[in-house]
C-alpha cells in the first residue's frame, strides 16, 4: 500500500498568519509583489524569483499599489552605482535605478531615498557581476539599510535591461509596484524526478490573497500542463470559500504525472482574477535517472557567505529531500559542484574533502519526516549511505562532479532505497584544515521554491544549518542519481580512500560521560582530525592531532544531550563517518 507523506495540518492557517504578520512589518520582503513595467503601452509583469526580482528584509513596505517613472540615480562621482551622495531632488517622485556593485545595498537605497526616490530598484545590470541574466538575489541591509523607509528590490539583469532599453530609447516607461491576488506556485516535490519514481502529485498549489471585504465564493483554480510528445492535461479544482484577509495556499486535486521523460510546463489561472499578472508559471522535469531540486541549468549564483561560515565554526552542510516511488530504487551517485574553487582549494586531501551523506528521512515508517522533536539532529541515527570527494582544483560553476555512493552497512555496494520513502542527500564540508575562513560555494541553478512539509519549517531543498538558510538567489545542486546513470566525469582520481575498519574502534557506544576513539594506523600521520557533530552539522567536539599513529583519543561528552551523533574521522590513510550514541 502506498505511503502518503502528509503536508502539515493547518498549513493554510499557518501560512495565512505568517504572511499577514510579515506584511505588517516595515520591510519589502515576502510581499510577493508584481512589478509591472509598461513601455509605450506594452506591459511586462515581473514576479519574485527567476528572471524577475528579489526583496530585502529591510526598507519600506508596500501598503498600497503605486506607480512611477524609473530613472537612473547618478551620484556625485558621477556614477549609477549610488555609493556616493546623489544630488538632492534628482530622483524626486521617481523609482530609482541603481547598479549593483562596489558598496552595500542599504547605502545605495538610502542615497536614493535622500535624493527623493519613492522606491529603489538595485539592478544586476553589469555582465561582470555574479549570476546570469535571470539571477536575482535577496539583499542584505548592510550598516545603514535599517534607515531606509522606501521599498527596495533587486532586479535581475533580464528585467533591468528591458527597463533600461526603454529609458535609453526615450520611450514612456512606467513601473508599478502591485499587490498580487495570487502568487508562489508549487508544482512538485522536486524539480526533477526519475521516471521510475513518479508518484501522485499532491502538492500542486498556489497562494491566494483576499484583499477585499467579502468572502470569495465559487473559486475554481486551473492548471494547464504541457509536456513532451504533445502531452496536455488540465486540472481544475473547486476551492473552499476564502474569507476576507485570507493569505494562504489553495491546493489542486491530486493527479499522476505521466511516466515519460521530458520537461513539463504548468500554467496556473483562476476564474476570479484574470489579469495577466494573475497567471502563474512553473516547470518540472521527469528524467531518466536524476533526482534534483535545482532546475538542471547552472548559473554563477555566488552562493556563499564567509562571515556566516566563520560564525558556523567553519562547517557547512546542506541537503535535499527526495521521495521514491512504489518500486523503490538504487542510488549510485551524488552530483554537485564547486563554483569558487580558487578560494578554497589547498592541495591537501584532508582539507579538500567533501563528504556526502544519505539519510533515511522516515526510519520509523510512519509517513512523517524524522525531525519532529529534536530538529534535524533526529537524523543522525538514520545514516544509510556515504560518498567522498577530494577537490581537484579544476572545478567551476558550469561543471558538476559525480561521486559514487555506497551503502553505510554494506560498503562497496550502492544504496538501496525503500519504496514510497523519503531520503535526504547532504553535502558536508569542514574548513578547519583549510585555515582560510572561506566558505565553499556549491554550484547552483536559479531559485526553485518548494512547499512546507509536516514538522513545521522543513522545506525542499533543506539547508540543514540555519546559519546558511535563505539563499533566495539560487538553489544548490545536490542531486541523487539512480542505477543506470552514466557519469560523464570520472571519479576515480577524486575518490579518497576509506579508513579500514581494522584501524579504528569507538568505545563505549553508546557513551555516557566519555567516548573513546581507538586508532591503530600503519604510519605516523601528519594530521588526524576527528569531529563529533549532529546530523544538522552542529559541531559538539573536535580534535586535531599532529604526527599521530596509534592511541586512544578521549572525548568528554558529559554535557552533550542524549541522542545520536556522527563521528567524522579523517586521517592520511583514509576517512570514515560512524554513528555514535550518547545516553545519560
Q: Which tens digits make up the pLDDT trace of 172-228?
A: 999 999 988 998 899 999 999 999 999 999 889 999 999 889 999 999 999 999 999
CATH of the domain at 266: 2.60.40.10
Cα 292 from Cα 460, distance rounded (Å): 10
Neighbours of 278 (CB within 10 A): 18
Same-domain pairing of 417 and 340: yes
Domain that holds residue 575: 501-582
Q: Say what the pLDDT of residue 299 is.
A: 82
For residues 100 and 195, membership in a common domain is answered with no
Does residue 492 lie in a domain region?
A: no
Do 307 and 355 lie in one domain? The reply is yes
Considering the domain architecture, whether residues 166 and 207 belong to the same structural domain is answered as no
Residue 26 lies in a domain: no
Q: Is 96 exposed, middle or buried, given 0-12, 13-18 or 19+ CB atoms closer than 10 A?
A: buried
Q: Which of 286, 305, 331 is the last residue of a domain?
A: 286
Residue 414 within any structural domain of the chain: yes
Closest C-alpha to 140, from 540, 472, 531, 555: 472
Query: What pLDDT score does 317 carry?
Result: 82
- The domain boundary, picked from 126, 145, 178, lies at 178
Domain end residue (candidates: 156, 178, 200): 178
What is the CATH number for 125? 3.50.30.30
The answer to whether residues 55 and 199 belong to one domain is no
- Based on the fold, state whether residues 344 and 438 are members of the same structural domain: yes
pLDDT tens-digit series, residues 26-83: 566 656 788 999 999 998 988 887 788 888 888 988 888 899 999 999 988 888 999 9
DSSP 8-class letter at 145: G
**The total number of structural domains that make up the chain:** 4
Q: Is residue 10 included in any domain, yes or no?
A: no
How many Å apart are CA 578 and CA 506, to the nearest integer?
9
Same domain, 334 and 358: yes
> Residues 305, 322: one domain?
yes
Q: Are residues 421 and 327 in the same domain?
A: yes
Q: Are strands 280-287 and 192-194 parallel, antiparallel or unpaired?
A: parallel
Residues of the chain where predicted confidence (pLDDT) is lower than 50: 1, 8-25, 373-374, 454-460, 464-470, 492-493
Cα–Cα distance, 472 to 361 (Å, whole number): 25
Q: Is residue 8 part of a domain?
A: no
On whether residue 6 sits in a domain, the answer given is no
In a domain, 21, yes or no: no
For residue 406, being part of any structural domain is answered with: yes
Considering the domain architecture, whether residues 301 and 191 belong to the same structural domain is answered as no
Q: Dump pLDDT digits (tens) for 209-218.
A: 998 899 999 9
DSSP character for 252?
A: P
Kindly report the CA angle at 550 between 544 and 555, in degrees rounded to 5?
45
Specify the length of the chain in residues: 584
CATH code for the domain of 575 = 2.60.40.3080
Predicted confidence at residue 377, as pLDDT, reads 61
Q: In this structure, are 250 and 143 located in the same domain?
A: no
Give yes or no: residues 350 and 418 share one domain.
yes
| Beta pairing, strands 514-533 & 504-507 | antiparallel
pLDDT at 15: 33
Amino acid at each position: 500500500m502506498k505511503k502518503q507523506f502528509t503536508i502539515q495540518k493547518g498549513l493554510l492557517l499557518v501560512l495565512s498568519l505568517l504572511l499577514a504578520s510579515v506584511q505588517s512589518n516595515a520591510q519589502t520582503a515576502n510581499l510577493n509583489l508584481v512589478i509591472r513595467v509598461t513601455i509605450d503601452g506594452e506591459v511586462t509583469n515581473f514576479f519574485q524569483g527567476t528572471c524577475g526580482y528579489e526583496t530585502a528584509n529591510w526598507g519600506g513596505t508596500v501598503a498600497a499599489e503605486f506607480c512611477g517613472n524609473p530613472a537612473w540615480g547618478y551620484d556625485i562621482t558621477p556614477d549609477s552605482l549610488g555609493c556616493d551622495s546623489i544630488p538632492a531632488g534628482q530622483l524626486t517622485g521617481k523609482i530609482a535605478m541603481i547598479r549593483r556593485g562596489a558598496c552595500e545595498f542599504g547605502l545605495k537605497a538610502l542615497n536614493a531615498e535622500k535624493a527623493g526616490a519613492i522606491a529603489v530598484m538595485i539592478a544586476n545590470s553589469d555582465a561582470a557581476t555574479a549570476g546570469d541574466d535571470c539571477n536575482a538575489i535577496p539583499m542584505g541591509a548592510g550598516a545603514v539599510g535599517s534607515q531606509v523607509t522606501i521599498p527596495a528590490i533587486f532586479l535581475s539583469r533580464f528585467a533591468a535591461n528591458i527597463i533600461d532599453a526603454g529609458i535609453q530609447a526615450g520611450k514612456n516607461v512606467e513601473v508599478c509596484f502591485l499587490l498580487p491576488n495570487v502568487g508562489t506556485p508549487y508544482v512538485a516535490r522536486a524539480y526533477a524526478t526519475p521516471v521510475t519514481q513518479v508518484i501522485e502529485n499532491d502538492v500542486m498549489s498556489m497562494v491566494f490573497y483576499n484583499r477585499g471585504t467579502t468572502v470569495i465564493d465559487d473559486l475554481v483554480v486551473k492548471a494547464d500542463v504541457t509536456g513532451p510528445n504533445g502531452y496536455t492535461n488540465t486540472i481544475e479544482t473547486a476551492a473552499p470559500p476564502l474569507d476576507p484577509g485570507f493569505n494562504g495556499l489553495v491546493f489542486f486535486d491530486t493527479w499522476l504525472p505521466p511516466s515519460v521523460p521530458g520537461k513539463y510546463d504548468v500554467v496556473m489561472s483562476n476564474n476570479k482574477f484574470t489579469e495577466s499578472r494573475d497567471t502563474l508559471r512553473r516547470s518540472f522535469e521527469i528524467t531518466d535517472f536524476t533526482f534534483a531540486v535545482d532546475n538542471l541549468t547552472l548559473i554563477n549564483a555566488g552562493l556563499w557567505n564567509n562571515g556566516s561560515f566563520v560564525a558556523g565554526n567553519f562547517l557547512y552542510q546542506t541537503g535535499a529531500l527526495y521521495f521514491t516511488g512504489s518500486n523503490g530504487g538504487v542510488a549510485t551517485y551524488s552530483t554537485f559542484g564547486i563554483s569558487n574553487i580558487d578560494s578554497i582549494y589547498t592541495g591537501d586531501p584532508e582539507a579538500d574533502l567533501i563528504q556526502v551523506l544519505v539519510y533515511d528521512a522516515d526510519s520509523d515508517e510512519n509517513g512523517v519526516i524524522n525531525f519532529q522533536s529534536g530538529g534535524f539532529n533526529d537524523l543522525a541515527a538514520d545514516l544509510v549511505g556515504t560518498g567522498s570527494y577530494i577537490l581537484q582544483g579544476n572545478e567551476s560553476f558550469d561543471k558538476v562532479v559525480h561521486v559514487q555512493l555506497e551503502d553505510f552497512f554494506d560498503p562497496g555496494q550502492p544504496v538501496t532505497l525503500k519504496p514510497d520513502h523519503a531520503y535526504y542527500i547532504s553535502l558536508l564540508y569542514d574548513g578547519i584544515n583549510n585555515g582560510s575562513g572561506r566558505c565553499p560555494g556549491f554550484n547552483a541553478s536559479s531559485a526553485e521554491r518548494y512547499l512546507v512539509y509536516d514538522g513545521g519549517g522543513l522545506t525542499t531543498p533543506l539547508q540543514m544549518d540555519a546559519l546558511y538558510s535563505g539563499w533566495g538567489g539560487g538553489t544548490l545542486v545536490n542531486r541523487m542519481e539512480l542505477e543506470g546513470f552514466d557519469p560523464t566525469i570520472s571519479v576515480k582520481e577524486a575518490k579518497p580512500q576509506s579508513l579500514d575498519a581494522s584501524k579504528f574502534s569507538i568505545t563505549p557506544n553508546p557513551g555516557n560521560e566519555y567516548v573513546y576513539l581507538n586508532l591503530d594506523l600503519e604510519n605516523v600521520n601528519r594530521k588526524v582530525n576527528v569531529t563529533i557533530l549532529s546530523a544538522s552539522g552542529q559541531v559538539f567536539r573536535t580534535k586535531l592531532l599532529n604526527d599521530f599513529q596509534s592511541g586512544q583519543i578521549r572525548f568528554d561528552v558529559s554535557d552533550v544531550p542524549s541522542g545520536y551523533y556522527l563521528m567524522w574521522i579523517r586521517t592520511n590513510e583514509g576517512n570514515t563517518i560512524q554513528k555514535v550514541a550518547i545516553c545519560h
